[in-house]
Amino acid sequence: MERESTTVIPEIGLHYSTLVNDERVARARELLSEALQDQRSKIDGIRPADPALVEAYQAKLSRLAAARGGAPYFPYISGGLGNGPFVQLGDGSVKLDFIVGIGVHGMGHSDPRMLDATIDAALEDTVMQGNLQHDEASLLMCEKLVTLARRQGASLDHCLLSTSGAMANENSLKIAFHHRAPASRVICIDNCFAGRTLALAALTDRPAYRSGLPATLDVDYITMFHPSDPEGTTRSALEGLQRLLDRYPGQHACLWLELVAGEGGYYPGTREYFEGLCKLCRERGVLVIFDEVQTFSRLSRPFAFQHFGLDAYADIVTLGKITQVCATLYGTALKPKGPILSQTFTASTASIRCGLAVLDHLEAMSCFGDNGWNMRRHRYFRERLEALAAKYPGRIQGPYGEGMMIAFTPGDGSEATAKTVLTRLYDDGLMGFLAGSHPTRLRFLPPPGVTEEFHIDLACECIERVVRTL
């Protein structure tokens, strides 16, 4: 039977299509899939390290620290195999991975659909894709992202692929500055995170991330939405924006927004908060950029701007992480008139094909919708964390976040406490990460493609074991 693949257009990819449908390939595919299944099925729960592997593992960690110029945050070197949110490390331990490379591995570990897409990619002529030469999967990825983005009416027509969220954001700023030239300023929200390039370090509201770096952009900040004072923070942000637009007439290219502050600590805004800001920007010709690098596919709709009903204001949108390839979406009216956008690589061939498979799977699993799988799992996780917060007052506060982005504040909210709890959770078998400051929270980005309720139960058992000792 002809192999069905959303990533093959028969009339264009004739010879490639013949290759991926070759019966020898089909047999090899089946054998690989069986071998993977045999091994991954053995990884079925959290496990401590194998004492026989510990010494060699420690030596590898030391080599890694020496080679990369510092130890990684976690003593983590993957053993190369996992099963859904479970991952086996090189010391034989198995962790429940609820951070997945900060939101990247949306299908968890050793997923058979990722293997399948990677085989399709391995059979292609090149390992990497780029702006000079694209494959069919690149075309389909661009079309797919534009179609998803336009679903509720956003005027986003074009998609530029790139290798990182930072590059997607750089491209978004370039498009905005180019369109609004000579405007040179950007408006951001307190506590935001945009990425790690020189320009994005200027946007990111963390002085430590700019230490020793030259100033590159003029950035103005407005008040972040805060649930402790919804009306006050909404009003303050709008008044702040008004003041800035009056103080620097015509000088702002864009308002750059995270709809759920990610690195900042999992603070979602509200439709009212964002809409007031976006409307005012629209009136003044200032472009609105939604950064969806962390939020994409984790809320009730593929895009957070759709979740918050802000489609009318989406001038430029960036995304990445879970899609395996990053992207900048924009409308025809903003198409640059000069050659300001390009890089050698767009992504690896495997990334693009895997990204398409992730998108197909999330839709097939009904992740989206007000009562879709994402929101149902959010409620499930939230209820369990609320129960823990009630049982252990003062040791756990929250939860916070939206959809498949969820966080809590341990203990006194200090960075030291959060780090202690994070490390103890890791030792107990649950991987999360830090977010925000004052308070510092622990966040989780469970892989949306494969997380089930029993995984959430297991995570909450780890959390309970750790917080009750605080």
Instruction: Tell me if 432 contacts ligand PLP by CB under 6 A.
Output: no
- Residue 320 contacts ligand PLP per CB under 6 A: yes
Question: Percent helix, strand, coil in the chain (nearest 5)?
Answer: 45, 20, 35
The reply on whether position 402 binds ligand PLP by CB under 6 A is no
Q: Which stretch binds ligand PLP (CB under 6 A): 224-232, 238-246, 289-297, 366-374?
A: 289-297
Q: Tell the smallest beta-carbon distance from residue 51 to ligand PLP (Å).
A: 36
3-state secondary structure of 129: strand
Q: Which of 76, 102, 73 lies closest to 87 in space, CA to CA?
A: 76
Our finding on whether 293 is near ligand PLP (CB under 6 A) is: yes
Residue 135 or 291: the one with the smaller Cβ distance to ligand PLP is 291
Closest listed residue to residue 111, CA positions, set 20, 6, 36: 36
Element (H, E) at 422: helix 415-428
Q: What kind and span of H or E run contains 186?
A: strand 185-189
Cβ-based neighbours of 25, under 8 Å, separated by 6 or more: 19, 119, 123
Residue 1 CA: distances (Å) to CA of 21, 31, 109, 119, 361: 8, 17, 29, 18, 22
Chain position whose Cβ is nearest to ligand PLP? 165
Nearer of residues 99 and 194 to ligand PLP, judged by Cβ: 194
Residue 158 near residue 146, CB atoms below 8 Å = yes
Among 116, 291, 315, 402, binds ligand PLP (CB under 6 A): 291
Does 374 contact ligand PLP by CB under 6 A? no
Q: Is 269 one of the binding residues for ligand PLP (CB under 6 A)?
A: no
Q: How far apart are CA 317 and CA 305, in angstroms?
A: 9
The residue from 9, 102, 365, 470 that contacts ligand PLP (CB under 6 A) is: 102
202 lines the binding site for ligand PLP (CB under 6 A): no
Under rule CB under 6 A, residue 398 binds ligand PLP: no
Least Å from the CB of residue 339 to ligand PLP = 23
Near ligand PLP in 162-181, by CB under 6 A: 164-166, 169
Nearer to ligand PLP, 169 or 346 (CB): 169
Q: Which of 84, 85, 106, 195 binds ligand PLP (CB under 6 A)?
A: 195
Minimum distance from residue 19 beta carbon to ligand PLP (Å) = 32
> 332 to 351, contacts with ligand PLP by CB under 6 A?
none
Q: Decide: 141 and 352 in contact? Cβ < 8 Å.
A: yes
Structure tokens at 441: 């929270």
Omega before 399 within 30 of 0, i.e. cis: yes
Binding site for ligand PLP (CB under 6 A): 102, 164-166, 169, 193-195, 258, 262-263, 291, 293-294, 320
